[in-house]
Amino acid sequence: MNVQIRSQCNALWQLYPFAREQLVNVKTRQATKLKGPDCRVLEVLIENKGQVVSKREILKSAWGERVVSDASLTQSIAQIRLALGDNGKEQKYIKTLPSQGYLLYDNVVEMADSEWEIEPGAADGEGEHVLRPSVHNLPKLSVRTPTFNRKVKWLLLLLLMMLFVAQLSGIINRLSFDWNLQVDDWVNVKRASVNFLYQREPASETLYHYLSSEKRLTGYQQPLDLVISTGVSNYYVSCLYLNDHTGADDVKNFTFSLQESFYFIGGMINDLCR
């Protein structure tokens, strides 16, 4: 089913941070994929559009504690300009202010309604992209009983993960991929305050080793359950955590491309699973 963007948009582009192709031209509906750091840089500029944002602030927001040079930021700005049809000479949309930072003009890019994300590769008869409900905005599963048995939580989390994977069965069938999810193919490991449940295959194990490293574990201050699996071209991650605002357990599901950087994946989990 084709869905039009519902909100009134005065900008030339809209940004869907969780979509596979995040930057969408409002007029042509043409979508462009941004790398993880480039997308986060653009988010910072959108949040401060019409204002000068210092390089230091952008680097801190987009890369966190990772040590990167100004050249990385310069490259990201160049990639964003290229996606917007801009360049460093004209600076139609993003202005460089030497020794100060960067400025994104008003009515160029705005954050889109996160309830919808672009279905990659899908288009209707008129060439417009098809939007579908974002998997990142599925209803949250609240575990309301404080004394809820931990083993039952694990079973519910595994069941939720299996249902989440089942939603992708249409794509999997078209690719003739035989999905055979067996409980015996999963590994359960406790590291510090984090319980990991990951699929016993190379890609999932590699992501597990990154997320369970001592440097990453220091960012988790409370108990957290992470389920990691891999499909044809994506990582699937679910986290069960204690919501700081409601005091109840919540679940979030993520889909990441196999080409996505582990730093970006770890940052999303650390930002949203709390």
Q: Which stretches of the chain drop beneath a pLDDT of 70?
A: 1-9, 114-149, 167-184, 218-221
Q: 41-96 pLDDT, tens per residue?
A: 999 999 998 999 998 898 888 888 888 888 888 898 999 999 999 998 899 999 99
Cα separations in angstroms, 126 against 2, 120, 121, 130, 217: 10, 16, 14, 11, 48
Give the whole-angstrom CA distance, residue 182 versus residue 185: 5
Right CATH number for 13-131 from 1.10.10.10, 3.30.460.10, 3.40.1000.10, 1.10.1240.10?
1.10.10.10
In the numeric block, the tokens 């230091």 are attached to: 56
Domains of the chain, by residue range, sit at 13-131, 138-272
pTM of the model: 0.42
pLDDT of residue 218: 67
